[in-house]
Chains A and B, each alone.
Chain A
Amino acid sequence: MTESQVSQVARPTTPPPEAGDLTQDGARTQPRELAAAVAVPVLLLLLSVCVVIASAELGYWTPIGPGPGFLPLWLAVLLGAMSAVWLAQRLRARPAPPEPAEVAGISEDRAVEPHDEPLRLKQVFLVLGSLTAVTALLEVLGFQLAMLLFLLFQLKVLARRGWVLTLTLSALGSFGVYTVFAGLLSVHLPTSSIPLLRSMGF
């Protein structure tokens, strides 16, 4: 079943948009993307206000010319103005909830463009979560052990590969990469902060 078929079938029976658990199809992404399309300009607008306030404190002008706050201030004004225009454009362009047939049509048209594919949020969070975890572990377990765990998770759990491939690639990507980068290329990579592990060379 293709995505467009899924949305065609699922849409009439599924009340929009929060209910239903169709996290991976096109039907759910539309409202979510719309929310993001409004939230992002608002966040940028807030950012620009903060920067304007912070730059004002830095000093706008000095006797010899523009001060440290000069450029950030004008950049923030530009950012704020553009975000406001963008927000207005987004709000105006916000379409009424589309008819099921339209949804199918849109997702078919858009399937050609890679960035209009539905975003797999669960996958994104899994990748981001595991990256945050490995980053936190880098200076605790050291690069080699942290990366070994990271790759085991990525290859076995996310990519669902067999054990042989998982173990080989995980070992190469952690111990192998460390040997090449830290050993041959003298790139500094994090080591463990636990004395026992460090004494073992991690």
Chain B
Amino acid sequence: MDTFSDLLAGFAAALTPQNLVLALIGCVIGTLLGLLPGIGSTAGIAILIPLTFTLDTASAIIMLAAIFYGTAYGGTITSVLLNIPGEGESAITCIDGYEMTKKGRAGVALTIAGVGSFIGGTIATIGLVLAAEPLADLGLRIGPPEFFSLVIVGIALLVGLIGESVVTGLISASVGMLIAMVGIDPIAGLPRFTFGSAHLFDGVSFVPVLVGVFGLGELLANAGGTARRPSAPTLRELLPTRTDLRRAAPAIGRGTGIGFLIGLVPGVTNAISSLLAYSSERKISRYRSELGSGAVEGVAAPETANNAHANAALVPLFTLGIPTSPAIAVLMGAFLMNGLTPGPRLFVEEPLLVWTVIASLFIGNAILLLLNVPLVGLWTRLLAIPYPVLSALILVFIIIGSYAINNSIIDVYLMLFFGVVGLVFRRLNVPLAPLVLTLILGPLIESALRQSLQISRGDFSIFLTRPISLTLLIVAAVIVVSSVLGSRLKPQGKADLPTDATV
């Protein structure tokens, strides 16, 4: 079958009433997570994974994926109206978005952001459709050594780009990986670090760890705080003028390109895409002098880029089996829990499932456009919920999510422990993204490493004698070395970069 008929079959499966409703629920939850403080998409998806156990795999993934890209829409609302980024990737939108709000043009900003997000997301999904099979073919030729080196590049990028320092980044990555080591060892079948507890023979489930680190950790860091309430924004008119559209169009185009390309790179989060899109506007836009004082390009470019990124980030997941960001890593975890390993084989083994999920991305982006643009007034009212009330309700779901994964109280205690870890790491500016990536990929990294060394009979040069693997390792080394050397230059550029606490 060719790509087009595959995609049509995917649409047929994605358009069933059940899958449509689940996509809608996912989009609503995603928008909420993006909008409300205290919990981001990583913890959100992790909490909801247990709730999808009763669904069939395709439906579960459709809903969880919708949550993932839905958060990128929701985060815009608070950035524009309140100058508070609900999610890291919307941080840069605050600059011009909030200026537009002060000028009474909040409605226009949100409409442009919604339309830009839709265009960026849709074009990136078309890119996914076109790139999927050729890349998956390539992926099939990748052996354990190349996979191992590719993951190392991903970790190097996360460690080098986000966070304060390479040192804390590596600490985070090794802690995540060590947690993943708990349980029965995949080759010799020996229990490792289980402290004699039968519960830990299956390993530490990533759900309580992530819910703790990202959900509870964030709530604890803000405990007793009060979130700012919106000063009832006047959405005078949602319809942008013709000038707005004419000015936004090129910015949306550039944002799509940047977001899509950056989204393909493992280890780079969509906060980077929106930042790059904004800085490219600052350099090449015709209206660059107006940026910073409420220019429509300053909203259109980053918002488009982060949605293009979110959808493009699924390309490496589906074709190579590499998650590019923490939220995608959790999504990958959901695949793994359903007995599916994302990667090139998935197109061979479960073509309908993959194409159904891809088709649902188109549908989800359309749903989000409808949800966000005309209904934006409804969402803003939710922002009036006082933070302590909100956090009490989120805590209920945090407990349910960590309990329901294995029906075990031990997991709830684990979640509490990792909540404290998350709080401490946040306070000390230890980046959390490397931890997620190694936690979820841990077993795969270990298998790849050990299989490689079995192929070479214990000779480590296998990683250097295979050209793809060698190239990837050189790239990783360059990234780490340059970020160590460049750390003195970082602070100025860093000021704009959001921490990954909100991922």
Contact = CB atoms under 8 A, between A and B. Distances in A.
A71 B223 contact: no
A59 B188 CA distance: 10
Given A82-B174, A119-B221, A128-B220, A181 B400 contact: yes
B249 to A, nearest CB: 33
A6 interface: no
B188 A124 contact: no
Interface string B398-440: 0110011001010011001001100110111100000000000
A117 B220 CA distance: 12
Contact of A123 (B174, B181, B223): B223
A36 B424 contact: yes
Given A54-B193, A68-B192, A72-B178, A120 B224 contact: yes
A40 B428 contact: yes
Nearest to B181: A72
A135 B185 CA distance: 30
| B174, B178, B426, B499, most chain A CB atoms within 10 A | B174
A68 B190 contact: yes
Given A75-B177, A124-B223, A135-B409, A68 B167 contact: no
Given A40-B424, A67-B188, A78 B225 contact: no
A78 B174 contact: yes
B103 interface: no
A187 B396 contact: no
B395 A131 contact: yes
Interface in B150-196: 165, 167-168, 170-171, 174-175, 177-178, 181, 185, 187-188, 190, 192-193
A68 B225 CA distance: 45
A134 B185 CA distance: 34
A145 interface: no
Contacts of A174: 396
Contact of A190 (B193, B389, B409, B499): B409
Nearest to B223: A123
Interface in A8-60: 33, 36-37, 40, 44, 51, 54, 58-59
Given A66-B453, A115-B501, A154-B395, A33 B458 contact: no
Contact of A138 (B224, B409, B457, B458): B409
Contact of A79 (B175, B386, B393): B175
Given A59-B188, A169-B389, A187-B404, A89 B167 contact: yes
B89 to A, nearest CB: 16
B477 to A, nearest CB: 15
A83 interface: yes
Nearest to B456: A65
Contacts of B449: 66, 71
B115 interface: no
Q: Is the interface of A mostly helix, strand, loop or mixed?
A: helix
Interface residues of A, number: 67
B50 interface: yes
A79 B178 contact: yes
Interface string B40-61: 0000000000110110000000
Nearest to A158: B388
A119 B170 CA distance: 25
Interface of B: 50-51, 53-54, 165, 167-168, 170-171, 174-175, 177-178, 181, 185, 187-188, 190, 192-193, 216, 219-225, 386, 388-389, 391-393, 395-396, 399-400, 403-404, 407, 409, 412-413, 416, 419-420, 423-424, 426-429, 446, 449-450, 453-454, 457-458, 499, 501
28 contacts: A33-B427, A44-B175, A61-B458, A62-B188, A65-B187, A65-B450, A65-B457, A66-B449, A67-B187, A68-B185, A68-B190, A70-B450, A75-B178, A75-B181, A79-B171, A117-B225, A119-B221, A120-B223, A120-B225, A124-B224, A126-B223, A128-B220, A131-B419, A132-B416, A138-B399, A161-B389, A174-B396, A177-B400
Interface of A: 33, 36-37, 40, 44, 51, 54, 58-59, 61-62, 64-72, 75-76, 78-79, 82-83, 85-86, 89, 114-115, 117, 119-120, 122-124, 126-128, 131-132, 134-135, 138-139, 147, 150-151, 154-155, 158-161, 165, 169, 173-174, 177, 181, 185-190
